Structure 1
Amino acid sequence: MNEAARNLKDRIAAALQLQGSGSSDFDLNPGTVLPEGRKLRDAGVLVPVSIASGGPRLILTKRSSALKHHPGQIAFPGGKVDAGDKDACAAALREAWEEIGLPQDLPEILGCLPEHETVTGFSVTPVVALIREDFAARPEAGEVAEVFSVPLGHVLDTENYIIESRRWRGTRRRYYTVPYGPYYIWGATARMLRGFAARMES
């Protein structure tokens, strides 16, 4: 690992140690009243930072347009914690293998961002990891339309985030976006990245 990669690793590890509360898809909508006693399902997503070649890049997926939930959206590889998973980290690694063909022994986990509550009732733990070697990405048929990457510096710059809104269940919901080229990164993915960027800038 070269000096630049070591410095990045140290910066990310330090940022993940910072104290802070979790986030939510409703953060930009303070008037939203969430039901008391709601039960959230645990999930884990991998935030894979590749340092295999060139500058650091964030690996993301574009979901299949045929999916019932979130078709065509940009997402981290990951999913719900299954009974056989030890924890959210294990779920994130398993799902990354299933969704994009990332070998489970390749990511070097640096830590986790605070949990994020989604509009679909999940409590998501974002697991940040370094990927030091190239791998042959294999999109999971029927679920992942594309595996791509964006410069890490783009999503870690809070100036690149835009607040937009749309109608959702009869009310106007505001959310973060961080577009890159043809990729419209928004919703929970953008919100988790915005939290990551804020930590890296503090």
Structure 2
Amino acid sequence: MFAPPEPRGWPPGFNPQRIRHAAGLLLLFPIVDRAHIVLTVRAGTLGRHSGQVSLPGGGIEPGETIEQAALREAHEEIGLPLDHVHVLGALTPLDIPVSGFRLHPIVAVSGGRAALTPSDGEVARILEVDLDELLAPERLVSIERQRDGRTMIVPAFHAGGEEIWGATAMVLAEFLTLLGWSPESSK
């Protein structure tokens, strides 16, 4: 259900050498002994993905590792203090043809809840989503989206008062699958 569709490739005329690499941070942290993750609602001024739910993250700068970029971007976007954040590993890179990015998700853990602040102009709001909320069968839904004049039905999570779909939903689904979740068992 959350697997990327049959590879469509990049849009016609797109030069694969122009792929922009980005890192996203899937951060786990406890609130009252329950695991949570941090997501952001992107500011309404950010182009194609404005207003969408995403991992904190952004472009990888020359000379940076993927992990360094994910941590730097999380610090810039949500004010994440990095002194108690430990990187656990990476998930599968994901191509996002609509914007020309290849997203490299990084999983990290923090021993406690940090006071987070959304970056003006980049983040409209910060979501702290309980993992159990994502795992609840009623949170997995199908939603309609319009792209290039056509209607698509896409899988999504309803969590934190938002619809989480697209690349972010695919990253979350991969992570939850590693924890033993199955989208088929959520029907």
- State the TM bucket, normalised to the shorter chain: 0.7 to 0.9
Alignment map for 1:170-181 (pairs within 5 Å)? 170-181=149-160
Q: After the TM superposition, which of the residue ranges 39-48 and 157-166 deviates more from structure 2?
A: 157-166
Normalising to structure 2: TM-score of the pair?
0.82
Q: After the TM superposition, which of the residue ranges 91-100 and 132-141 deviates more from structure 2?
A: 132-141
User: Is the 8 Å Cα contact of residues 107 and 129 (structure 1) preserved in structure 2?
Assistant: yes
Deviations, residues 121-150 of structure 1 (Å, cap 9, x unaligned): 111111111111232211101111111211
CA RMSD of aligned residues (A): 2.4
**What is the aligned partner in structure 2 of residue 118 from structure 1?**
96
Alignment map for 1:54-133 (pairs within 5 Å)? 54-85=33-64, 87-119=65-97, 120-133=99-112
Classify the secondary structure of the residue corresponding to 2:23.
strand
Shift of 1:67: 2.4
> Is 2:124 aligned against 1:145?
yes
Deviations, residues 168-192 of structure 1 (Å, cap 9, x unaligned): 1134434321012521111111111
User: Is the 8 Å Cα contact of residues 175 and 191 (structure 1) preserved in structure 2?
Assistant: no
User: Is the 8 Å Cα contact of residues 52 and 131 (structure 1) preserved in structure 2?
Assistant: no
User: Whole-Å Cα distance in 2 between the matches of residues 187 and 55 of structure 1?
Assistant: 26
Distance 1:172 1:46, change over 3 A: same
What amino acid is the match of 1:109? V
User: Is the 8 Å Cα contact of residues 156 and 196 (structure 1) preserved in structure 2?
Assistant: no
**What is the aligned partner in structure 2 of residue 10 from structure 1?**
none
User: Whole-Å Cα distance in 2 between the matches of residues 88 and 176 of structure 1?
Assistant: 27
User: Whole-Å Cα distance in 2 between the matches of residues 107 and 115 of structure 1?
Assistant: 21
User: Is the 8 Å Cα contact of residues 41 and 125 (structure 2) preserved in structure 1?
Assistant: yes
User: Whole-Å Cα distance in 1 between the matches of residues 151 and 133 of structure 2?
Assistant: 28
User: Is the 8 Å Cα contact of residues 23 and 69 (structure 2) preserved in structure 1?
Assistant: yes
Deviations, residues 80-127 of structure 1 (Å, cap 9, x unaligned): 101142x11110000000000112232111111111111311111111
Unaligned residue ranges in structure 1 (runs of 5+): 1-22
Identity %: 32
Structure richer in strand, relative to its length? 2
